[in-house]
Amino acid sequence: MAELVLFNKPFQVLSQFTDQKKDGDRARATLGDYLDVPGIYPAGRLDYDSEGLLLLTSEGALQHRIASPALKMEKTYWVQVEGEITDQALTGLAQGVTLKDGLTRPARVKRIPEPAVWPRVPPVRFRESVPESWIELTITEGRNRQVRRMTAAVGFPTLRLIRYRIGDWTLEGLAPGDFRTVTVNLPSPARKRPRPGARTGRKRS
């Protein structure tokens, strides 16, 4: 069993406990401003200008299960985009978008009403002449700024990005800056299959 911390990361908070800023730069908020739980570290990252669910643990095996791209754990985002998103754009996101670092994996995506979430501080810029819309996007990758690059590639820049779910864990019940701790089963170690013809450790009867 292992302890897993579910944290609702606010906007403009680094996904790390210290800020390696240069001398003279303005100090940025970090996880250390919100979490006083010794020995934990993030399982994956969430950009400074994104909000929502960040998982932290002290167990390396659990961190690997959550963060490893090879294990393809699903992550669901609520995304506010500039403009009324089209069916063509949704199809493009679902099928995969060609970015500078290659084609993204197929995703699940749908239009959603504006979710009942906290107001962002500072607020998203509003332009009366330009409509906005919300989508729910589920991906199995974690490339750098991937969601923002995907929506921009289909012509709808991201205005606000909230990660709602990672695997079986969600933001439900967590206000920005709040966290809760859950107990989870550790992943079982992978067993190596014996090579054909190799001896095993069993004794003959």
Residues belonging to the active site: 47
Task: Name the E strands within the chain.
Answer: 2-9, 41-42, 51-57, 75-82, 98-99, 102-103, 108-112, 132-139, 158-166, 169-170, 179-184
Which residue is listed with tokens 């013809």?
197
d(CA 171, CA 54): 9
Which residue is listed with tokens 């709808």?
156
CA distances from 44 to 57, 66, 159, 166, 202 (A): 10, 7, 22, 10, 41
